[in-house]
Chains A and B, each alone.
Chain A
Amino acid sequence: MTELTTLTLAEARDRLRKKDLSSAELTAAHLAAMEKARALNAFVLETPEQAAAMAKASDARIARGDAGPLEGIPLAIKDLFCTKGVRTTACSHILDNFVPTYESTVTSQLWRDGAVMLGKTNNDEFAMGSSNETSYFGPVQSPWRREGSNTPLVPGGSSGGSAAAVAAQLCLGATATDTGGSIRQPAAFTGTVGIKPTYGRCSRWGIVAFASSLDQAGPMAKTVRDAAIMLRSMAGPDAKDTTCVDLPVPDYEAAVGRSVKGLRIGIPNEYRLEGMPAEIEKIWQQGCAWLKSAGAELVDVSLPHTKYALPAYYIVAPAEASSNLARYDGVRYGLRVPGKDITDMYEQTRAEGFGGEVRRRVMIGTYVLSAGYYDAYYLRAQKVRTLIKRDFEQCFAQGVHAMLTPATPSASFGIGEKGGADPVEMYLNDVFTVTVNMAGLPGIAVPAGADAQGLPLGLQLIGRPFDEETLFALGEVIEQAAGRFVAQPWW
């Protein structure tokens, strides 16, 4: 029954509806695949019993004609989403054995629509990382390998477990979160589709916070259509999140296959980086050609503040994180390391509970917010953010519908290859994606080709606020032209 794991979400949904497939079979096939793929370390917690029970309930609902939009579809959930009664750690030692008594809004909407939970996926600790190497549970191995090489590669991050699980066909889709590129970069590294919707499109309630003004949930999937189906269930208003917008959720799937004729696509000049690999430049040109032949119009645009985006991001995000992570103090839940007094307990707990990258960012964030430095760093970064946002607004005001850029400056790299000596080397992975978070815009990464060693490369489409539909329409054009990229199992 392994072929069941090769189905797309849309195909599986259609077969479940036709009742020529049960959710129990489909779920069992994925649970079996997960078991075989443990070498990838994509899951930090498998929930086979819960999955079987949910699948059974789905089959009953399908039988009585009461199926939801995701009925019976087995999904993987990033460990940043709080799941009621199921351990949620954000892959941090400090949340050791934390079991929420509540369910995040996004996942509760997936279950409302009939989806089945397979387990919790690995991620960089508190979503801080671009390679899934900062997880307390260890790195995730990408299902992809360079041709003729056994070097273990990173799946990207922070949603590395979700990306690997989708790419290795261990699930039909996965939830993820994106603060600076954590959905789009791993999607690009693993040949999967990932969309970070507009800030405010999905509720943040019940998702472990990294940087509140940047965090946004989104799906990772095998195809553009699958991502559209999932986002429809994940998005929507939530009174429990003030920053979540009260806008109706469109039928995103209906936008897949919609004509892109006449759409004006901006090609931002500033994304043409010095020293960028020729392969990246090549797929970018290829993407332009595909969109053009589908009837879109390409226009050169300028986003002059792009070069300040990454430094500004690495001020704003750690600043918010330093405050968001203050609650992990050993007092109420999670890890507590005893100390001789309360301050000592805090220090021991946080020193042991947080990994190196998290500690680094908490310290950066504390520094940039401290008296005497606030204006020079945090305030300035916020001003840069306003300018970045304005760059995009001016382009959109000139009639640009979306922009096409590379998703990452390179293909996947080997575990342990980057950032060891200089963390900035790792941070540069986010150079094309952070602008989108800083501006609060929607961005989708779609596989568009492979490098010389056979590793997938992705393109990014950036849209107008709350116009995810155009991104799905354009993404579908690229996917149709480029074809799908499926990893060959070595595990």
Chain B
Amino acid sequence: MLVPRAAGTGMAMNVQQKPSKLIKGATGDWEVVIGMEVHAQVSSRSKLFSGASTEFGGAPNSHVSLVDAAMPGMLPVINEECVRQAVRTGLGLKARINRRSVFDRKNYFYPDLPQGYQISQYKQPVVGEGEVVVDLDSGEAVTVGIERLHLEQDAGKSVHDRHATSSAVDLNRSGVALMEIVSKPDLRSSEEAMAFLTKLRSILRYLGTCDGDMEKGSLRADVNVSVRRPGEAFGTRCEIKNMNSIRFIGQAIEHEARRQIEIIEDGGVIDQETRLFDPGRGETRSMRSKEEAHDYRYFPDPDLLPLELSEEMVGSLQAALPELPDEKKARFMRELGLSAYDAGHLVAERETADYFEAVANGRDAKLAANWVINELSGRLNKEGQTVASSPVSAAQLGGILDLIGDKTISGKIAKDLFEIVWTEGGDPREVVKARGMAQVTDLSAIGGIVDDLIAKNPDKVEQAKANPKAMMWFVGQVMKASGGKASPQAVNDILKTKLGL
């Protein structure tokens, strides 16, 4: 097991790293250094260099053009929407947009790569350096550098389990546009790595440039992991390929860091290699060594002209960019008075933020935030639903909050009402009316109940007089007798008067 190092025992020479992120080895502390290469499928109707559909789940080889199948004499033609999506993403990552970039060929043989080369951007990517600010649960914010973003073709899929002696190839994905987003080696823990990918996915979804669906493979990451003693130079890295789960990435990094530390502490050296994570065993294993690495023989694709972007094109994409999570969070804090935690929670998914804003519109923003974060999100998580599929719409939740606001119902009844709207639907106000859920604010009715309780429970009256906190017993009894509909404020006021508190 990896044990987080206790605070205050970090090595003196390590001035930047928080001791809590160090890993304790047998011979001292270790720092893990992580960089990521994220492959994000571009949201686009057609492929990067052909008109074939990108739709997921088609019958095998049903979305394959002559270009995708690399028939003789076929030529790639750039899909401009994919370029726009890459530029949008670059702008969202606050990155430099390269007005001139070049598509190269990466040559290797594999049956799911019909051309015998992948068209990718090697030396001159469309997007240069940028950054992502990652918020950690501790409240700490870490800035992760983006090295570059480039466009490239996805490969097809080899299917090995259909025939005994041969493999089948499905080219539906062949030629689909991917953005490879490369981070700098700025991540220092599995937690940071997971938070980075989560944040990156959130930005991509806000931008609408990638759906971020890791189960469908729309977002995959290669994770580079190395370890070093704090303050020393970077160690030799291993690349863990093709991770499609944020949770597994965390596990893989933990395992890989521990593996490397053990090797070094036992006097060994780390071999630069590509590794795969086995989720069943929770460990990484070697896939190929550096010596086995391909020589991809990159060279500029002579079928394509350099990609030139006009200042106007970049400018108009910048102008049309949506509000991104960081800006939205700042606005929620500044204008709506939300806490950093609440604002951060609400902006993580664009749908949640939009939902919240619809609920908060014209209402108490903090109350709206509480309801969205606690009641709604809690319930959605429990049911495995998302905001997009929520049975309670923003208008319905807003209606519930209105009923609290005008004191028609109490906060407690509101939770029952939420439950009814969740399961049965309907206009909250109508539901309250139809079911007689409105709270009792009739002082004489409440007074009657209180009088009755005082008369029957003199001992409790004495206790309450001795210790005002014991009044809560009466509150509970009144609420119980009223079926929860008594206004808590009114009950409190009457009790205080009648008990002489």
Chain A residues within CB distance 8 Å of chain B: 82, 88, 90, 95, 98, 100-102, 104, 204-209, 211-213, 239-243, 319-320, 322-323, 325-327, 329, 331-333, 342-343, 346, 366, 369-371, 374, 378
A102, B66: Cβ atoms under 8 Å? yes
B112 and chain A: residue at smallest CB distance: A331
State which of A204, A213, A326, A343 has its C-beta within 8 Å of the C-beta of B116.
Answer: A326
* From B74, B109, B302, contact of A213 by CB (8 A): B302
Residues of A within 8 A of B205 (CB): none
Residue among B169, B297, B298, B302 making CB contact with A331, cutoff 8 Å: B169
Chain B facing A: main interface SS: loop
Q: Are B303 and A206 in contact (CB under 8 A)?
A: no
The residue of chain A having its C-beta at the shortest distance from the C-beta of B72 within the complex is A208
Complex alpha-carbon distance, A343 and B167, angstroms: 13
Given A212-B301, A241-B75, A323-B116; 5 other pairs, CB 8 A cutoff: A212-B302, A327-B70, A369-B107, A369-B299, A371-B297
Cβ-neighbour of B295 out of A239, A325, A331, A370 (below 8 A): A370
| Chain B: minimal CB distance from A379 (Å) | 9
With A and B bound together, what is the CA distance between A319 and B117 in angstroms? Answer: 13
Partner of B115, one of A205, A326, A378: A326
With A102-B71, A205-B74, A242-B78 in contact, do A326 and B109 touch (Cβ < 8 Å)?
A: yes
B399 at the interface (CB under 8 A from A): no
CA A97 – CA B357 in complex, angstroms? 64
**What residue of chain A has the Cβ atom nearest to residue B67's Cβ?**
A240
Q: Are B116 and A82 in contact (CB under 8 A)?
A: no
Name the residue on B nearest A214 (C-beta): B302
Given contacts A88-B72, A104-B73, A211-B302, contact A323 B111 (CB under 8 A): no
Whether, in the assembled complex, B481 has its beta carbon less than 8 Å from a beta carbon of chain A, the answer is no
Point out the residues of chain B lying under 8 angstroms from A369, CB to CB: 107, 297-299
- Is residue B105 contacting chain A, with contact meaning CB distance below 8 A? yes
Query: In whole angstroms, how far apart are the Cα atoms of A342 and B66 in the complex?
Result: 23
Q: Which of B103-139 contact A (CB under 8 A)?
A: 105, 107, 109, 111, 114-117
Contacting pair A208 B73 (CB below 8 A): yes
Closest chain A CB from B155 CB (angstroms): 13
B250: CB under 8 A from chain A?
no
Give bound CA distance, A217 to B169, whole Å: 34
Whether B77 is near chain A, meaning CB under 8 Å from some CB there, is: yes
Tally of contact residues, B, Cβ under 8 A: 30
CB-CB nearest 10 A-B residue pairs: A326-B116, A213-B302, A212-B302, A369-B297, A327-B70, A206-B73, A208-B72, A371-B295, A82-B73, A212-B303
B75 touches A95 (CB 8 A): no
A158 to chain B, nearest CB (A): 16
Q: Among B75, B109, B167, B298, which residue has its beta carbon within 8 angstroms of that of A240?
A: B75
Contacts of B116 in A (CB 8 A): 323, 325-327, 329
Q: How far is the CA of A96 from the CA of B109 in the complex (A)?
A: 21
A-B contact pairs, 10 of them (CB 8 A): A82-B71, A205-B75, A240-B75, A242-B303, A322-B107, A323-B299, A331-B111, A332-B69, A374-B297, A374-B298
Residues of B within 8 A of A243 (CB): 302-305
Partner of B297, one of A88, A102, A205, A370: A370
Residues of chain A contacted by B76 (CB below 8 angstroms)? 242
Closest Cβ of chain B to A360, distance in Å, is 17
Given contacts A213-B302, A326-B107, contact A204 B297 (CB under 8 A): no
Q: How many Å lie between the Cα of A323 and that of B70 in the bound state?
A: 12
Chain A positions within 8 Å of B109 at CB level: 326, 329, 343, 346
Q: Enumerate chain A residues within 8 angstroms of B71, measured Cβ to Cβ.
A: 82, 100, 102, 332-333
Q: Hey, which chain B residues are within 8 Å of A90, CB to CB?
A: 72
| CB pair A242 B75 closer than 8 Å | yes
Give Cα A90–Cα B70 distance, bound, in whole angstroms: 16
Task: Give min CB distance, B120 to chain A, whole Å.
Answer: 13
Most buried by B among A88, A326, A369, A370: A326
Contacts of B74 in A (CB 8 A): 205-206
Contact B299 A319 (CB under 8 A): yes
- The residue of chain B having its C-beta at the shortest distance from the C-beta of A346 within the complex is B109
| Smallest CB gap from B77: residue in A | A242
A206 nearest in chain B by CB position: B73
Contact B117 A323 (CB under 8 A): yes
B80 to chain A, nearest CB (A): 12
Closest A residue to B293 by beta carbon equals A371
Find chain B residues with CB under 8 A from A319 CB. 299
Proximity bits, B7-44, A CB within 8 Å = 1, else 0: 00000000000000000000000000000000000000
Q: B49's closest neighbor in chain A, by CB? A: A242
CB distance from B163 to the nearest CB of A (A): 13
Chain B residue numbers with a CB within 8 Å of A206 are: 73-74
Q: Is the CB of A98 within 8 A of B305?
A: no
**Contact status A326-B117, CB under 8 Å:** yes
- CB-defined contacts of B75 to chain A, threshold 8 Å: 204-205, 240-242
A239 to B49, CA, bound (A): 12
Give A29 to B305 CA distance when docked, in angstroms.
45
A374 in contact with B299 (CB, 8 Å)? yes
Inter-chain contact A332/B114, CB cutoff 8 Å: yes
Report yes or no: A327 in contact with B299, Cβ–Cβ below 8 A: no
Query: Which residues does chain B contribute within 8 Å of A370, judged by CB atoms?
Result: 295, 297
In the bound complex, CA of A370 to CA of B114 (Å): 21
Q: Is the CB of A342 within 8 A of B111?
A: yes
